[in-house]
Structure 1
């Protein structure tokens, strides 16, 4: 009996403890938009998920390997304050007023106490804004407006990582609070500071997109990565039909069937089209940051979004570009620019990302495209015509030889007919 009473008391204590944990559990707000990347995606490439140079926001705050940038953040805050007539107290009060809303944007309880949290957000937000100002070489006369390309390429990838995001409303709010800024043209906005940076993978993706569309997306974006996602996706889905077959021919198979490849003319990055035997694919820059960018877009899409454009683009490219030969064909046609040749380039990137992508047959964005490609490859005449051209008309001299042979054959036939008539 005593044992049962003792067990009952222990269970009551356990229940109280568990109830206490449930009461303090961080509720997911509708404003939640910043997450830790799942382990199944992280295991593909840890360094593509975690910051390598600078911590922004609470998830990696205080990490020993990133502390070297903390002094640089203070220097950037000093330079940022030098540009404006506002005091540091103005900015601290602004962040403090938004503290509850800021914490709700993260998908887990942030255990950092209030003062440290407010200081961290101000330092990190000022760092991002000042970084953009320096990249645009805007000086207030009191500090350097120059940032080296090596520092840019060290820091820029970290700014786009999902776990390193700051809510967009905080970046916009501090920027607007700081205005007017010394040396800052009136027409230059936070959006334009980011838009002006076109020398990387992000710039390549946004190159053909209209300015008005980018700016509209910027007003809707929850953070920088979300803005990029909105910019890349088409305005609406293609008409959706069922797969006739889930198989997708690779680039080499398409070439053997006579398909031509061309840099996409669409202003939407994920828009891949096939018409009159020509497959148009957006220009794709394969650099060290390409994998980082697509991995973080994929992770964010799986955690927060109803659309699957990044996932479906990765799935399709993984099927099209299966071997180095496939990639070489796209390189020759100007579709891919590969700057990481020694590491397997785009083939390796899409094969790795494809491991954690999946195909939903009832909502795959490129269903119609895949059906069209399979139908084209399945037509014997297309393959015969392509084989004839590749084998007999691939050079001017080969073409001349074939034409000469045909003429000779025709003349021989005519001569034979004439001989029969003469008899």
Structure 2
């Protein structure tokens, strides 16, 4: 058998190879020999803004496509967002006037990082290969984004716009900016924050990175210290929801990571003796389980919640090394929310503020979010989940919980129980007294 295999291998090796196949093989061999690990890392692109794949998009195709304004190249020119383009020109003019700079000054500064900006996007169309068109897009969209953020955060306070301005006025801030803000959450609709850093630098600010980071976090309604340059607004939104700069090391695989079982719903956990409490902060990381109490961060569920979580999970899923904290939180919440009864319980504990109106609709939202997503066994929530499951499986705690719900549900049932206990004690004392009297008289 060994001889046959050897002869067969020699026969295949000695067969003439086609010219195209030979050149392709030689090219691959040259790359394998000449490209070291360091060079291979340099050649591989490091994008941070992706087109959402079809297998993710099919969960909700509307969650990843902007409805009113486009940022960046992916949706530029879409018919639905074209009406907003004229407002971008006014934002650019206003920015140049405020900064007292020319368009050439901005272009020169942006040209220094054009390759870095282009490399932030995955799979750009060929029409964006030229620097002029791409720079024009970055400057125009960057100025519009910066002006929107400043108007929304009241920085500068006067804004510098007329009262009847359709976008950059109090009226626009009330009716239009919330829709633009939702489009800013979308993964495919991101602009590298490097654009904003450069624009603020052109204005003359030496602390451009710190200024932009603080401005964006205020835009996301958070106060948080973020060090260094960040990738885009969705990246900053994720940090604002986590409440800190997460480390990719927290989500890396670990050897012999504990196996996580399926946790029961909130209403079932309550029947098992587990109590719920609102965490001290609204960070998605602030989930703890101590002494039978599961503490969960406060969350407002509204029309933008689904868009936010789907895009944050896509960001974590497609960017290697980003972390999985948001995804783990969503899967955990889906595990303890099965029906409207669970939403009602968490709402009663002031953990979930349901702005959708219907508890059933809110429960279905969490069930949709976690579809085709698995819980990461070695995530930060693994220990919490396992401790909750272990605690809830002990029968004595389940019986104690049933006793508390039956007899201590309200002050009246508590008083009735105490009265019954007092009556029982008095009956026992009376019986003992009667027995003693009988023996003493005998």
Matched, 1:190 2:212: yes
Q: Contact 1:262 / 1:278 at 8 angstroms: preserved in 2?
A: yes
Of residues 220, 223, 237, the one that matches 1:228 is 237
Structure scoring higher RCO (CA < 8 A, sep ≥ 6) equals 1
Matched, 1:315 2:331: yes
* CA distance in structure 1 between the aligned counterparts of 2:359 and 2:386, rounded to whole angstroms: 32
Q: Match of 1:279, SS? A: strand
* CA distance in structure 2 between the aligned counterparts of 1:91 and 1:311, rounded to whole angstroms: 38
Report the counterpart of residue 90 of structure 1 in structure 2: 105
**Bigger mean CA offset, 133-142 vs 39-48:** 133-142
Question: How far does residue 180 in structure 1 lie from its aligned partner after superposition?
Answer: 6.0
User: Does the C-alpha gap of structure 1 residues 259 and 343 become closer, same or farther in structure 2, counting only changes over 3 Å?
Assistant: closer
How many residue pairs are counted as aligned between the two chains? Answer: 386
* CA distance in structure 2 between the aligned counterparts of 1:222 and 1:47, rounded to whole angstroms: 23
Deviations 1:343-391 (A, max 9, x none): 8443222211111311343x23311111111111112221122111111
- Please list every run of 5 or more consecutive structure 2 residues that lacks an aligned counterpart in the other structure: 1-17, 28-41
Report the counterpart of residue 279 of structure 1 in structure 2: 294
Report the counterpart of residue 178 of structure 2 in structure 1: 153
Q: Match of 1:211, SS? A: coil
Matched, 1:70 2:95: no
Question: How far does residue 36 in structure 1 lie from its aligned partner after superposition?
Answer: 0.7
Of residues 297, 302, 311, the one that matches 2:312 is 297
Question: How far does residue 133 in structure 1 lie from its aligned partner after superposition?
Answer: 1.4
Question: How far does residue 242 in structure 1 lie from its aligned partner after superposition?
Answer: 4.8
Q: Match of 1:341, SS? A: coil
Question: How far does residue 402 in structure 1 lie from its aligned partner after superposition?
Answer: 0.6
Question: How far does residue 103 in structure 1 lie from its aligned partner after superposition?
Answer: 1.2
* CA distance in structure 2 between the aligned counterparts of 1:367 and 1:134, rounded to whole angstroms: 42
* CA distance in structure 1 between the aligned counterparts of 2:49 and 2:111, rounded to whole angstroms: 19
Normalising by structure 1, what TM-score?
A: 0.83
> Aligned ranges for residues 297-376 of structure 1 at < 5 Å?
297-306=312-321, 307-342=323-358, 344-361=360-377, 363-376=378-391
Matched, 1:170 2:170: no
Question: How far does residue 189 in structure 1 lie from its aligned partner after superposition?
Answer: 2.3
* CA distance in structure 2 between the aligned counterparts of 1:85 and 1:247, rounded to whole angstroms: 60
Question: How far does residue 284 in structure 1 lie from its aligned partner after superposition?
Answer: 0.6
Question: How far does residue 277 in structure 1 lie from its aligned partner after superposition?
Answer: 1.5
- Aligned CA RMSD, in angstroms, stands at 2.9
Query: Which structure's CA Rg is the greater one?
Result: 2
Normalising by structure 2, what TM-score?
A: 0.80
Of residues 373, 379, 382, the one that matches 2:397 is 382
Of residues 52, 57, 61, the one that matches 1:46 is 61
User: Does the C-alpha gap of structure 1 residues 42 and 11 become closer, same or farther in structure 2, counting only changes over 3 Å?
Assistant: farther
Question: How far does residue 12 in structure 1 lie from its aligned partner after superposition?
Answer: 6.4
**Bigger mean CA offset, 77-86 vs 185-194:** 185-194
